[in-house]
């Protein structure tokens, strides 16, 4: 099942580095409304600030009080545990968690976020310019039918190039 980026509710992107911003740009270019993108960066770079200005977005220092339908973790592996602890309160029954953190297995993502609705991905560098290939694997709790979860994750990843699952 394919899901349009226009139909996906709030998408929270945690991590506004090169890969995170490249993904955000590809989602916006592919039709995600700016009003549906929430950027989280405790200490945003000048590049992140410029991106937010260009797209009229706000950057939040933390995820507190925000309820995403999709939570994308685009942070370095060495900080993922602390990030998951901080975002766990905003992970609800509607939240699909997508991680692009290298080397972090699904079991760790499930424990850290408190949900079994997790998709682990591995984009390559060309995804930063929409020419990449991304592999994705979903935890057993992510169904192919429930609100188009797999389609949601793959559609989000295809905006950066080719995605496989």
- Summarised one tens digit per residue, pLDDT across range 94-131 is 899 999 998 999 999 999 999 999 999 876 655 555 56
DSSP-based three-state secondary structure for 22: helix
CATH architecture of residue range(s) 5-164:
3-Layer(aba) Sandwich (3.40)
**pLDDT for the residue 132:** 64
Distance CA 79, CA 81 (A): 6
pTM of the model: 0.82
Helices (H), the chain: 18-29, 46-55, 80-87, 106-113, 149-158
Question: CA 53, CA 138: separation in Å to the nearest integer?
Answer: 34
What pLDDT, on a 0 to 100 scale, did the predictor assign at position 64?
A: 83
Given a cut of 80, whether residue 13 has pLDDT beyond it is yes
């Amino acid at each position: 099942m394919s899901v349009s980026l226009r139909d996906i509710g709030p998408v929270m992107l945690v991590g506004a580095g090169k890969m995170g911003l490249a993904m955000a740009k590809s989602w916006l270019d592919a039709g995600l409304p700016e009003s549906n993108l929430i950027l989280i960066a405790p200490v945003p770079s000048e590049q992140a600030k410029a991106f937010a200005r260009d797209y009229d977005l706000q950057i939040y220092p933390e995820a507190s009080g925000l309820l995403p339908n999709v939570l994308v973790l685009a942070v370095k592996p060495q900080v993922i545990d602390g990030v998951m602890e901080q975002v766990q309160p905003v992970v609800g029954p509607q939240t699909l968690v997508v991680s692009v953190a290298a080397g972090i297995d699904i079991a760790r993502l499930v424990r850290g976020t408190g949900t079994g609705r997790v998709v682990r991905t591995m984009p390559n560098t060309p995804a930063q310019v929409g020419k990449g290939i991304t592999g994705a694997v979903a935890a057993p709790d992510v169904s192919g039918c429930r609100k188009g979860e797999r389609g949601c994750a793959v559609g989000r990843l295809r905006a950066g190039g080719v995605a496989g699952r």
